[in-house]
Structure 1
Amino acid sequence: MEANPPPEPDENVENSGDAAQAPAVKPRALPFSNWWPLAIGALSGILLRLIFSGEPGGAYAAMDAAFVYLVPIAVGAVTVYVAETKQRRAWSYYVWGPMVANALFVLGTMAMLIEGLICVIIILPLFCALGALGGVVMGAICRATRRRRQAVYSFAALPVLLGFLPTNGADYQRIGTIERTVVVEASAQQVWRQIHDARDIRPEEVGHAWMYRIGVPLPIAGVTQKTPTGFVRKVSMGKSIHFDQVAVEWKENRYVRWTYRFEKDSFPPNALDDHVTIGGHYFDLLDTAYTLTPTGAHTTKLSITMHYRVSTQFNWYADAVATFLIGNFQEVILDFYRRRSQQAS
């Protein structure tokens, strides 16, 4: 018959000779046969996510630093605490257990339709890393003191307490610029034509860009029209996304710069995750410019420059993600125009 788990130690007794008093149990790595600590850790994260359901920029917003930094740490701490009440765990468990629990937590929010695929993929690496940190700290506490229950309560309560604090209108805005260039074996006029008349875009032409791989709907067309107020490029994408690119600078066959214009129905519900919607509280594309420089009779240097905004309390991470995704998109779209221009020549 299996022995009962050891009772919770007296929290009021100082830890003197704890290692000597603990039963000699051989440490083991992550026990996939026992998922209770992982499940309880993941459930604690989901509960905290439900608390952090406030409006962007307000108290208990899911993009608040108190949630992004402290909740995965709390999930890691809860996971290790629950596991340690049954048996001493190895240091490797303090790392991998919380990482798995945080992965289950994030995937659980997606299954409950709280978060979308894009946000899950973007935030998962950060949450796993922070979860491992919380697990190691909690593991060290379990080995060094008997006050483990107070410690885990503190881990869980801290994000709730700090999430209520106002941001006091703090400006977390960061403006970034990304530029890429490609050489096209076609005339500037031909390249210009392809930029302003991109129809019937096939998934195999652009679908390998990482932003589309993680869930952003694929583009369908981008066609420039002359309107009474100037040139406007009509962009349509999957899931009924549509918006305008308004030309604010225009030099025929040489240069165009667009700003973005969105309507109330530009992004239908569930077309994009709320946290990454263009023009939203946390992210925006400010403008896009194409520069065409003839380098020969039938050769053109095509450059794209994009300005974007990220406005989070963890811009060091959000900006790195935006730089990677936008830079990769630019490389793919330039190659798209290169191939279409050369095929049309």
Structure 2
Amino acid sequence: MTTTQADPLNMRYLVEGLALGVSYGLLFRLLAHFSWPGPSVVMSIGFLFLGPMVMGILAVRRASVATPAPVWMWFALPIGTVFLAMLAAILLYLEGTICVVFAFPIALVGAILGGVIGGLASRSHYRINRGTTACIAVIPFLIASAEPGFTAPTHIRTVASEIRIHASPEIVWNNIERVPAISPSELHTTWAQRIGFPRPVEATLSYQGIGGVRHASFERGLTFIETVTAWEPKHRLAFGIKADTAHIPPTTLDEHVTIGGRYFDVLDGEYLLEPLPNGDVLLHLTSHQRLSTDFNGYAGLWSDAVMQNLQSSILEVIQHRCEHA
């Protein structure tokens, strides 16, 4: 009889724990969005990792008020907390899909770690009281507000892609110096496009030779100004890249992943044609990107994946055009 009476009470605390964790996460995001300490806090370890860790601690601690939560709940509850908080952030237009997808893995690790900490504390002789909980909850706010005052390390990433094309170097060259408008049927939908990254549209060229300017256009007003730095017909085309940030609509990309912004930029690109013995061409496309975050190792995994996805899509268009010329 006692167990039967306890079950509804435990479920109540589980729901309260979930709600508490989600509320904490949303409060943190709302404060960053509307006032303190500013939107840059979202790109901090305090927000992305420590905040979810506290979400996990709060959720599991509340769920363990009556009896210690089972071990599986140390993991399930934090996962649900992060998922619901990020879903709410999208629905409230606090975050775009790109940022949520990028942030979810690191937030999940932090939340699960917090869940384990909360679960172990609930089974130990030392119970986390309200005063200790309040102190723990404030720590991410303090760290996140301090992080923007420090200069983030800069890391240069290199992404290299290649594709084999059954065509002559001359045909390949003609299809890379300029890229006429790409129809939607020429591109298959990629995961990067599904989460919100614009698809490529075309690349124009002002004139042939070093100093020529290419305008690489993407959907939703995203444009790269590419100045030719190496011009070796049928062999090598290199260019510096500058995002046209003055004309990119604010709705094109989330501010935290804006190209040419505080955290990320594409610096240059290069096409290299490698003739093969059978007459084919191995076309290489290499680019360099700047990352300036407090977690460049993690951010680099995502930037590399997005750039690799983008470069592969462009190379596939070039391959198809060359082989059907």
**TM superposition score normalised by structure 2:** 0.88
Deviation at 1:161, TM superposition (A): 1.8
Q: Which amino acid aligns with 2:163?
A: V
Within 5 Å, which residues of 2 pair with 1:173-192? 173-192=154-173
What are the superposed Cα offsets for residues 71-126 of structure 1, whole Å, 9 maximum, x if unpaired? 01011111112222244311110111011101111121111111111001111121
For the residue of structure 1 that corresponds to 2:294, the secondary structure is coil
CA contact (8 A) 2:13 2:63 kept: no
Deviation at 1:54, TM superposition (A): 8.7
Deviation at 1:317, TM superposition (A): 0.7
Aligned counterpart in structure 2 of residue 259 of structure 1, from 234, 240, 260: 240
Determine the C-alpha separation between the residues in 2 that align with 1:132 and 1:32: 21
Deviation at 1:195, TM superposition (A): 1.6
CA contact (8 A) 1:119 1:275 kept: yes
**Does residue 99 in structure 1 map to residue 79 in structure 2?**
yes
Determine which structure has more spread, i.e. the larger CA radius of gyration. 1
Cα distance change of structure 1 residues 103 and 166 upon mapping to structure 2, 3 Å threshold: closer
Determine the C-alpha separation between the residues in 2 that align with 1:264 and 1:287: 16
For the residue of structure 2 that corresponds to 1:215, the secondary structure is coil
Deviation at 1:206, TM superposition (A): 3.1
Determine the C-alpha separation between the residues in 1 that align with 2:123 and 2:5: 13
Corresponding residue number in structure 2 for 1:337 = 318
- The more displaced of 284-293 and 235-244 is 235-244
Q: Which amino acid aligns with 2:259?
A: I
Cα distance change of structure 1 residues 227 and 329 upon mapping to structure 2, 3 Å threshold: closer
Aligned counterpart in structure 1 of residue 134 of structure 2, from 149, 153, 171: 153
CA contact (8 A) 1:224 1:232 kept: yes
CA contact (8 A) 2:169 2:234 kept: yes
Deviation at 1:297, TM superposition (A): 7.2
**Does residue 135 in structure 1 map to residue 115 in structure 2?**
yes
**Does residue 46 in structure 1 map to residue 26 in structure 2?**
yes
Q: Which amino acid aligns with 1:190?
A: I
Q: Which amino acid aligns with 1:258?
A: F
Structure 2, unpaired ranges of 5+: none
Aligned counterpart in structure 1 of residue 186 of structure 2, from 202, 205, 214: 205
Determine the C-alpha separation between the residues in 2 that align with 1:307 and 1:341: 26
**TM superposition score normalised by structure 1:** 0.84
- The more displaced of 234-243 and 131-140 is 234-243
CA contact (8 A) 2:13 2:62 kept: no
Corresponding residue number in structure 1 for 2:174 = 193
- The more displaced of 111-120 and 189-198 is 189-198
- The more displaced of 71-80 and 44-53 is 44-53
Determine the C-alpha separation between the residues in 2 that align with 1:296 and 1:63: 49
Corresponding residue number in structure 2 for 1:268 = 249
Corresponding residue number in structure 1 for 2:101 = 121
Q: Which amino acid aligns with 2:267?
A: L
**Does residue 294 in structure 1 map to residue 278 in structure 2?**
no
CA contact (8 A) 1:27 1:90 kept: no
Corresponding residue number in structure 1 for 2:219 = 238
- The more displaced of 82-91 and 136-145 is 82-91
Determine the C-alpha separation between the residues in 1 that align with 2:208 and 2:313: 29
Within 5 Å, which residues of 2 pair with 1:8-87? 35-53=15-33, 61-87=41-67
What are the superposed Cα offsets for residues 142-167 of structure 1, whole Å, 9 maximum, x if unpaired? 11123343343233110112223255
What are the superposed Cα offsets for residues 123-143 of structure 1, whole Å, 9 maximum, x if unpaired? 112111210110110111111
Alignment length, in residue pairs?
A: 322
For the residue of structure 2 that corresponds to 1:79, the secondary structure is helix
CA contact (8 A) 1:77 1:155 kept: no
For the residue of structure 2 that corresponds to 1:142, the secondary structure is helix
For the residue of structure 2 that corresponds to 1:35, the secondary structure is helix
Deviation at 1:229, TM superposition (A): 8.3
Query: How many percent of aligned residue pairs carry the same amino acid?
Result: 28
Structure 1, unpaired ranges of 5+: 4-22
CA contact (8 A) 1:244 1:262 kept: yes
Corresponding residue number in structure 2 for 1:10 = none
Across the aligned residues of Structure 1 and Structure 2, the Cα RMSD in angstroms comes to 3.0
Deviation at 1:272, TM superposition (A): 0.4
Aligned counterpart in structure 1 of residue 260 of structure 2, from 279, 282, 288: 279
CA contact (8 A) 2:59 2:77 kept: yes
CA contact (8 A) 2:161 2:312 kept: yes
Q: Which amino acid aligns with 2:56?
A: G
Task: Decide which structure has greater helix share.
Answer: 2
